[in-house]
Structure formats: structure tokens, C-alpha cells
A = this chain, B = another copy of it.
Amino acid sequence: MPHEFDAQTAVRPEGDGRYAAELAEGWVVGGGVNGGYLLAVIGTALRATFPAKPDPVAVSAYYLSAARPGPATVAVDVRREGGRVATASVELVQEGETRIAALATYGDLARFGDDVRTTATEPVLPPPDECVANTLAPQEILDLAPMMGRFDMRFHPDHVGWAVGQPSGRGELAAWFRLVDGREPDPVSLLMVLDALPPVTFDLGMMGWAPTLELTAHVRARPAPGWLKVRHRTRNMAGGMFEEDCEVWDSAGRLVAQSRQLAMQPRTS
């Protein structure tokens, strides 16, 4: 049996750069299908397009309309191949309507070298057993967000005040993360992880859904097996929009993926 993540992100080549996908019910959250999951579906089609360059290096996705569970087509248009990386324009389409327009550069991260020189600092989290599990969420939240059933997420106890009406106001969320059935992280699954936590605006006391306009992911290394650490931060809310920066760190203490998204501020009462 394949892991559920692999079954749910699988694509079937139909020729001419087109791939058929089936968007799973299990990734619904709020008004649509989770954007990170959609990015992983697109990422799977791109991996199939570039067998010798199987890893996402940079992916920029513009979310044009909300996706629904069911059939979808990923249409890949290779814009440049040759050298160390390849770049494609991609669209995810349902019923003739573009859900996501994206650009992506792929490569082979294993051949990019192991040098690291960083001033970024790993999130400090208590051990997973001392954190707050997503499975503790009230049933009405789980009903609204079936996606929560796809992973084991353990929040820093200082970052879940919003769940009891006491957001910290700092604009930061951090959690341990792994897929439920032991499926280990890889570069394509990291595309999903970058958009799996609740919106960082929860920590600012805005509990609504925050639609993404644009998300750009950079995958910087293949992740080691085991728990990931994920951190969301925002600094600038202005003009009804905010930026959300995400970092994913692997069990070896390496910063393996970064993203920034521009999202609409949730409407709050």
C-alpha cells in the first residue's frame, strides 16, 4: 500500500504535458482545498516532467480560484531546460477554470553541494510530547478542516493562546510536523508543509480564513527523515494584506525550505 500522501498527490500522464489528478476530500479546509496540498500535486506533475531534475528549487503559485475535491488537470509548459535547472509554467485547472497559475524551477538538490553558511536559527520547541497536538482541536474545527486528519502537528504551548481566545499578538506560530502514516518528508511534500499550519493571523487574534494571493517556496535541501519543525511569522499587515514567512527545519537541524506568501487579512467581526 502506498502512503496516503502519495496516493492523494498521484498524477497520471495524458500526453502533451498534461497530467490528470484527483483532489482528495481529506485536504479540504474552510472554503476550499488546502493550497499547500495543491502545490504538492503540481509538484508531483513537475517531478514526472523532469526525471533527472526531480526536486523543486523554486515554485511561485498564484491562487486564482478555490479548488474543490474531484478531478483536476495539471498542464505543464516547459519554458527552459538544460544546464543545472529546468523551468516550467504550470496551471492547475478544474472544469475549464484555472485554480492556480504557477512558475517552477526544478533541479537535483543532491547535486547542489553541501556547503551551508547560515545565520538563521532553528525554532526552539519543547519535545513533541510536551506540545499541544492538533488532535486536541474541538470537533467543530476538525469538521471544518478535514485536512487536520492528515498530519500530526504539535504546537509550541506558548503559540496556541488563540485556541482559548488569548492570542499572543506576536505574529508567530511554531510546531512539530509529520504526516500521519509515517510517510517521511521529501522535497515535494515540503511544498505542502509550507502551507499546512493555521494562518499566522490566528496569533494576532484574527480567526478567519486568510486567502493566499501568492506563495513562493524555495526548497534548499532534501530533508532528513523524522519530525520537521515549522515556523510561521508575519511582520507587516497593511492595506488588508499580510506577508507570511514560513521556515521548515529537518531533524538534522537544517533549514530545508523557506516560503513567503502574500495573503488577504481575514475578515473579523
A residues with CB within 8 A of B: 57-58, 60, 62, 64-65, 79-80, 85, 87, 89, 91, 98, 101-103, 105, 109, 112-120, 170-171, 204, 213-214, 216, 218, 220-221, 235-241, 243, 254-255, 258, 260, 262
Contact = CB atoms under 8 A, between A and B. Distances in A.
Nearest to A242: B117
Count this chain's copies in the assembly. Answer: 2
Given A64-B79, A214-B58, A89 B115 contact: no
Nearest to A91: B79
Contacts of A103: 60, 62, 101-103, 214
13 contacts: A60-B62, A62-B87, A79-B98, A101-B103, A103-B103, A112-B241, A117-B237, A119-B235, A216-B216, A216-B260, A221-B239, A236-B255, A260-B260
Nearest to A258: B243
Nearest to A58: B214
Contact of A262 (B57, B64, B214): B57
Contact of A64 (B87, B98, B170, B240): B87
Contacts of A241: 57, 112, 220
A80 B105 contact: no
Given A213-B57, A216-B216, A64 B80 contact: yes
Given A57-B213, A87-B62, A103-B102, A237 B116 contact: yes
Contacts of A243: 218, 258
Contacts of A65: 80
Contacts of A112: 239-241
A213 B106 CA distance: 11
A204 B117 CA distance: 10
Contact of A60 (B60, B79, B91, B258): B60
B216 A236 contact: no
Given A79-B98, A89-B89, A236 B220 contact: yes
A72 B218 CA distance: 29
Given A58-B213, A112-B241, A113-B239, 4 more contacts: A62-B79, A115-B237, A119-B236, A220-B239
Contacts of A79: 62, 64, 91, 98, 101
A218 B237 CA distance: 12
A237 B213 CA distance: 28
